[in-house]
Every structure is written in C-alpha cells, then in structure tokens.
C-alpha cells in the first residue's frame, strides 16, 4: 500500500471565512500517483475546520458562515471567553470537525460535480493555517 503525506499553509483574510483548497489537495493526490484509495484532509487547529460543500455559488460560503453565526452566538457568556475571547470559534470548529476523508477513483478525488474542499476559519485572520493531506491506496 502506497502512502504520501504533505502539508501546505493557507492565509485567511477575515475573522470568519471559507477558503477553497481543492486545487492544493488535488495536487497532492496527483503527486501520490494512487489510482484507488483515500485522501484525508486535516487541520491541526482548534478554531478552524475542514468541510466539503458547493463552490459554484460563492454565496454558499456566506450562507454557511451566517447559519453558524446564528447557531453559535459570539460572546454569549461563554466561559472560555474569559481566557482568550474566542469560545464561539472553538465551538464552531468542533461542530464542523477538523477533517474530511475523501475517496480517490481513477487517480482523482471522487468529489461530486458541485463539491469542493474548504478550510473554515473561525478565529482569523491568520497568516498560517496548516493543512495536512494524507493519501493512501
């Protein structure tokens, strides 16, 4: 079984933002040269997450962040805000999750027509959000 692990960084510009990383992940999959397998995309951060969603309409990302903002109110007397004022970011990251595992078929990510891979920033902006990609098959 072949395996490749690579990392890259993402810079975010806003306090909350979704950033398409599909091209960077696809490049790691191509470099791995695996025809059939799995790709794990992971962020080692407690206030960021990974998700798969539509990218054809940029309003999807805006709506996604808006929905999370309604679900997890900023500074809503969260106990962790007493430490570093970012409890809502931690909660949102935990709800979405730090990783996605995607199938590889015919040497490519087997995403649906409208699907792309995103880093979700909940405590930005940040100059370096690390993304780890592990491919095996």
Chain centroid offset of residue 132 CA: 10
The pairing of strands 108-109 and 37-42 is unpaired
Confidence (pTM): 0.96
State whether residue 20 is helix, strand or coil. strand
The predicted pLDDT at position 95 comes to: 98
Strands (DSSP E) contained in the chain are 3-10, 17-20, 37-42, 48-54, 99-105, 108-109, 115-121, 129-136
The predicted pLDDT at position 1 comes to: 78
Domains along the sequence of the chain with CATH: 3-136 (2.60.120.460)
Give, for 74, the enclosing helix (H) or strand (E). none
Return averaged pLDDT per consecutive 10 residues of the chain, 137 residues in all: 95 98 98 97 98 94 97 96 97 98 98 97 98 98
């Amino acid at each position: 079984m072949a395996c490749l692990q690579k990392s890259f960084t993402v810079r975010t510009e806003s306090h909350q933002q979704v950033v398409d990383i599909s091209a960077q992940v696809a490049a790691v999959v191509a470099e791995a040269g695996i025809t059939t397998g799995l790709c794990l995309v992971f962020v080692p951060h407690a206030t960021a997450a990974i998700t798969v969603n539509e990218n054809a309409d940029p309003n999807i990302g805006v709506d996604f962040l808006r929905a999370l903002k309604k679900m997890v109110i900023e500074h809503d007397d969260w106990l962790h805000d007493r430490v570093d004022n970012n409890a809502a970011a931690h909660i949102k990251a935990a709800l979405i999750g730090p990783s996605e595992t995607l199938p590889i078929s015919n040497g490519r990510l087997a995403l649906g027509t409208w699907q792309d891979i995103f880093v979700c920033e909940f405590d930005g902006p940040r100059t370096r959000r690390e993304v780890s990609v592990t491919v095996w098959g």
